[in-house]
Chain A
Amino acid sequence: MLGRIWIVARRDFDAVVRTKGFVIGLLFMPLMVLLSTQLPKLLERFGERGDRRVAIVDLTGRLEAPLAAWAEQRNARPGEQLFLRLEGVAPPGLATGPALSLQAARAALEGDLAERVRREELFGWLIIGRQVADLPPPPGDAEATAAHAAESKLAYGAVSLTTGNLRQELRTAVRDAARSQRLAAAGVDAAVMARVDVDVPFDEFVVAKQVKTGDDGVVRSSGMAEAMVPMGLTLLLLMGIMSSAGLLLNATIEEKSNRVVEVLVSSVSAVELMAGKLIGAFLTGLITLLAWGAAGAFAADHFNMLKADTLAVANLAWYAWFFVGGYLLFGAIYLAIGSLCQSIQDAQNMMLPVVLLIMLPMIGHSHLLEHPDSALSRALTFFPWSAPMTMPTRIAQSPPPPTWQVAASAASVAFGVLVSIWAAAKIFRIGIFSSGKPPKLRELWRWLREAS
């Protein structure tokens, strides 16, 4: 019997993994990860090199030097290929009288600067308002505040406002330089300010309701990371069910419409055929999930999101149990539906209630995260067809549910799997020989009650 199941599983597996669609699906996620992690580096290689000359008109008279120092530092960054060259342009009349307003400076200089940009002598220009480095007036004096605001702005013009990060870099550099000046004006030492700015860390602890001996009952929480793992697993389970179940549906409908199925059931029992198909589709799904999971883990690691303590190893066995259980619960239903239908269109109508059943726990997920021990949460984790999507989330939460609840939920999934497969086998056995319209619910019920 096991031999025949395995032969069926292997054929179904082979039939799928050798298709172009499967290979494309398999490579899609790793390819996306590769692109998202490697593309920036690659683009850098193809990115622009050389000098970018920007004219700086500093109406404050105080920021040109710190900006020059900053630019020098910036250009010395390792791997930097695009160099920023700042060219100080003296605002007219600064030496003789008070600094010009931003508007007046623009009026006086913009034509000339723009012409130089057009001649490609300059990439762009930056005019720094005369009060940018000044401390704003104390609150209360609306007029002074407005006057200060009008003159503490930056004006920037360039060939393109979207090319590269230059605009943002300049803005940040000016803001930092101005901040130092303003601090000094307020009589605050910049070094002191840096010490003031040191972050205040926030440590979280979970107090367990029951304290074991030799245990202080306080557990350090790793916060969101803990919830991410079961969330990810639930999503993987959903994806696995959706993709594998799609395969099962297609394969069963294909066998029915190709009329291969009667040859098959003359050699293997309906249950063996079903089991073989379930295992075959599970293995194809597993390969996809492993490839995607590995790609996801690689990406998470690349972006420094993977922490060693994210996954509690002790829970892995539970996750695997609910994962496999969830797949079997819904896979069997999809198979039974496939056996009733002559076409994918027929199947789509019948799948609606099943898809709702799958999605329902996802809708309740936020409730589950906030109230893991509510009556609704418990009900969701004890109902076989929602347990696989909800119990992993509860297990990963702090405090975890009592062991008896986890065990009861696991048992209910096992029970559900047995019921699903038993019912699916009965329907499958009759359904694969049915023709015409899919049967009504009442007729299905009669099939279930019949002996064979």
Chain B
Amino acid sequence: MSRTGGGESAVVLERVTKRYGGHIAVDEVSLAIARGSVHGFIGPNGAGKTSTLRMIMHITLPDAGRVTVLGRPAGRETSQQVGYLPEERGLYPKMRVGALIEYLGQLKGRTRAELKPRIDAWLDRMGLLAWKQKRCQELSKGMQQKVQFIATVVHDPELILLDEPFSGLDPLNAEVLIGIVEEWKRAGKTVIFSTHVMEHAEKLCDAVFMIVRGRKVLDGTLESIRARHREEIVDVEGDGPRERLAQAPGVIRCAGDGGRYELLLRPGADPQELLRHVAGGFRVHRFEVRTPRLHDLFVQLAGDAAQPTSAGGE
């Protein structure tokens, strides 16, 4: 399902492939990200999230396929309208906070006069105005992360890419960031962020894109994904042999031990039948049927893709 082209998409990838030597980092990925949406990039470490983001930023070029950003082929000019917070991020230790943000804003094509009020406003909002003239090395790690964040968006970009923005943030600062992303969402900006934390993705995203071993395994709005993945999850607590659960009818996978288990059911399988089977040789304390959360899909899809015989979810 590749939705391509068009003015409605902020970013379009068409059969994009990126290789590093013999390793395929991104494998024929197609993707369309709607303007004004918040899009989550999820996937295990080394799956190809950062490689994809770098190609959108025109930092690296695809070996095959096409990347369109804000209606134009990805290039130096389109990346000027994008704010990018890389996963590997740092500051010049000896530079002063204000000068550093101004420098990075200037590189995005803004003048000093345009930047000055915006820098002050952002520093004020993040509680860093008093630190404007301090050297970056004098700031705490949390403060440095805020400065990096301000530098990413100070030029008021239309599209914002955040690579693992929550990593290393304490819960308080993570909340500040969530608040800002929600604000952007209301203001109609397009935000793409990669994350390991599925709760963040579920809370913030309109849509998610999951990549495993370079291949797209999941893509769409959260509703459409839930509609497509109608497998059910059953949480079971009780005493008895694990095999009784694992070999029960309709069970695709059985995780957990020590009395607490999580069973994944085949689409269409009947939980009542499962309950009857389990109760035959197992002392059940708790039996709860629920629809899968993003976290469950993540574990399932990442696990499937890791097995060579059943790669990919499209």
Contacts and interface: CB of A to CB of B under 8 A. Distances in A.
Nearest to A276: B107
Given A7-B107, A8-B107, A268-B107, A262 B61 contact: no
Contacts of A433: 60
Contacts of A1: 76
A263 B59 CA distance: 10
A16 to B, nearest CB: 11
Interface residues of B, number: 29
Contacts, number: 59
Contact of A266 (B57, B91, B95): B57
B139 to A, nearest CB: 13
A258 interface: yes
Given A269-B76, A451-B61, A452-B61, A263 B93 contact: no
Interface in B37-91: 57, 59-61, 63, 76, 79-80, 82, 84, 86, 88-91
Contacts of B79: 266-267
A452 B76 CA distance: 15
A145 B101 CA distance: 89
A3 B110 CA distance: 11
B89 A262 contact: yes
Interface in A246-265: 254-255, 258-260, 262-265
A263 B61 contact: no
B308 interface: no
B60 A258 contact: no
Nearest to A6: B106
A228 interface: no
Nearest to B95: A15
Nearest to B106: A7
Interface in A230-244: none
A269 B76 CA distance: 7
A315 B91 CA distance: 45
B21 interface: yes
A446 B21 contact: yes
B108 interface: yes
B283 interface: no
A7 B61 contact: no
A74 interface: no
Given A266-B57, A452-B61, A15 B94 contact: yes
B80 A263 contact: no
A433 B50 CA distance: 12
B92 A263 contact: no
A451 to B, nearest CB: 7
B131 to A, nearest CB: 18
Contacts of A269: 76
Interface string A252-294: 0011001110111111110000000000000000000000000
A267 B161 CA distance: 13
A15 B92 contact: yes
Contacts of A265: 59
Interface in A146-193: none
A40 B273 CA distance: 107
B104 interface: yes
Contacts of B109: 3
Nearest to B84: A266
Interface in B265-308: none
A263 B95 CA distance: 15
Contacts of B60: 433, 452
B122 interface: no
Nearest to B79: A266
Nearest to B63: A451
Nearest to A260: B90
A116 interface: no
Contacts of B86: 259, 262-263, 266
Given A267-B79, A452-B60, A262 B103 contact: no
Given A258-B93, A267-B108, A452-B60, A7 B88 contact: no
A262 B59 contact: yes
Contacts of B91: 258, 260
Contacts of B57: 266
A66 B90 CA distance: 82
A262 B107 CA distance: 13
A19 to B, nearest CB: 8
Interface in B94-132: 94-95, 103-104, 106-109
Contacts of B104: 263, 267
A272 to B, nearest CB: 8
Contact of A262 (B88, B92, B151): B88
Nearest to B60: A452
A258 B92 contact: yes
B154 to A, nearest CB: 12
B288 to A, nearest CB: 45
Contacts of A255: 92
Nearest to A7: B106
A240 to B, nearest CB: 24
A199 B21 CA distance: 76
A113 to B, nearest CB: 68
Interface in B141-186: 148, 151-152
Given A15-B95, A266-B84, A452-B61, 13 more contacts: A11-B103, A255-B92, A258-B90, A259-B86, A260-B89, A262-B59, A263-B86, A266-B59, A266-B82, A266-B86, A267-B80, A269-B76, A451-B61
10 contacts: A7-B107, A15-B95, A254-B92, A259-B88, A259-B90, A262-B89, A267-B104, A267-B108, A268-B76, A452-B61
Interface of A: 1, 3-4, 7-8, 11, 15, 254-255, 258-260, 262-269, 433, 446, 451-452
